[in-house]
Amino acid sequence: MLKVKDIADVIEDFAPKRLQESYDNAGLQIGNPEMDVTAALLCLDVTEEVLDEAIERHCNMIVSHHPLLFKGLKEVTGRTATERIVIKAIRENVAIYSAHTNLDSAWEGVSHEIAHVLDMSEISVLEPKDDNPSTGLGVIGKIQPTPKIEFLRKIKEAFKVKCLRYSSQSPQLVVRKAAICGGSGASLIREAIRNGADIIITGDVKYHDFTTYGLDIIIADIGHYESELCTKKIFSRIIREKYPDFVTYFAEAETNPIKYM
């Protein structure tokens, strides 16, 4: 039977922990690396509902994109949701593992997955890490020339975006080159402009990013959650390529913490 460390190792072969940003906390969050694993539940965020689903589906490991433990815990009393998850996961013997910005920076990681959905070609890393052209945040590539509004509609449909925020003042009429960063990628807007992108697709864009850069590039904010749901597919592919008989499930209890009216 596979162990927790076997699942961790195959993910880290794809997305080494050395690729994570300095502020991050990727890796095994809770659990014994030597514990046998029956099945794994794959998710974006570890919530109390996701943990309950893992227990109900007899999954004794959760693999998430966002780390449960991002900041240090000074107490574990059950007062917060994170503390309750820690207590229950330990009590129920459920391991929790996360691959975050290392998955973002890996080749064929989060931004690449978005690019494939949009049929981009000649894809390269937007902001290479340590001068390595195959790792780093964001990607940039070519798009079959598409009218701006048509391309924005394609994005909205492809990622099931209920409310697409985009820069209304951008003068570009046709999209030929696109930059992408899953999650929060506003810091890459200037790099996208420097590389000649017509559009950047990301999440968590601030008002002043629109006003500052909107005349230079189309900014499309599809939402943090929407841009990273693909991480479950990436985890599944990584694990199944190495261990085709290992059972994984996509979390069904997961919901977007942001609602739109």
Interatomic CA distance for residues 64 and 95, integer angstroms: 11
Check pLDDT > 90 for residue 240.
yes
Taking residues 119-137, report their average pLDDT: 96
Integer-rounded Cα Rg, in Å, for the chain is 19
Tokens of 49: 């509902």
Q: What is the pLDDT of residues 220-235, one digit of tens each?
A: 999 999 999 999 999 9
Residue pair 7/97 in contact by the 8 Å Cβ criterion: yes
Q: Which two tokens stand for residue 178?
A: 């696109």
In which band, very low, low, confident or very high, does the pLDDT at 249 lie, cut at 50, 70 and 90? very high
Percent share of the chain, pLDDT over 90: 97
pLDDT digits (tens, 9 = 90+) for 136-147: 999 999 999 999
Residue 181 DSSP SS3: strand
- What is the arithmetic mean of pLDDT over 35-59? 98
User: Sorting pLDDT into bands at 50, 70 and 90, what band is 261?
Assistant: confident
**Average pLDDT in the 2-22 region?**
98
Nearest Cα neighbor of 235 from 78, 86, 74, 26 is 26
Residues 6+ apart with CB under 8 A from 36: 1, 2, 3
pLDDT for 25 beyond 90:
yes
Given a contact cutoff of 8 angstroms between Cβ atoms, the answer to whether 140 and 124 are in contact is yes
Instruction: State yes or no: pLDDT of 21 exceeds 90.
Output: yes
pTM of the model: 0.96
The per-residue pLDDT for range 87-122, each reduced to its tens digit, is 999 999 999 999 999 999 999 999 999 999 999 999
Q: DSSP for 90-128?
A: HHHT-EEEE--HHHHHSTTSHHHHHHHHTT-EEEEEEEE
Q: Which residues contact 4 (CB under 8 A, 6 or more apart)?
A: 28, 31, 32, 33, 34, 35, 37, 61, 95, 97
State the pLDDT at residue 151. Answer: 98
Token digits of residue 44 = 């974006």
Q: How far apart are CA 229 and CA 41, in angstroms?
A: 14
Q: At what angle do helices 110-117 and 231-242 cross, to 10 degrees?
A: 100
Q: For the chain, give the mean pLDDT.
A: 97
Element housing 242 (H / E): helix 231-242
Q: Sign of the C-alpha dihedral, residues 197, 198, 203, 206? A: positive
Q: Is the pLDDT of residue 72 over 90?
A: no
Res 233: pLDDT? 97
- Counting every residue written for the chain, the total comes to 261
- What is the per-residue pLDDT for 87? 98
Residue 71, pLDDT > 90, answer no
pLDDT of 45 reads: 98
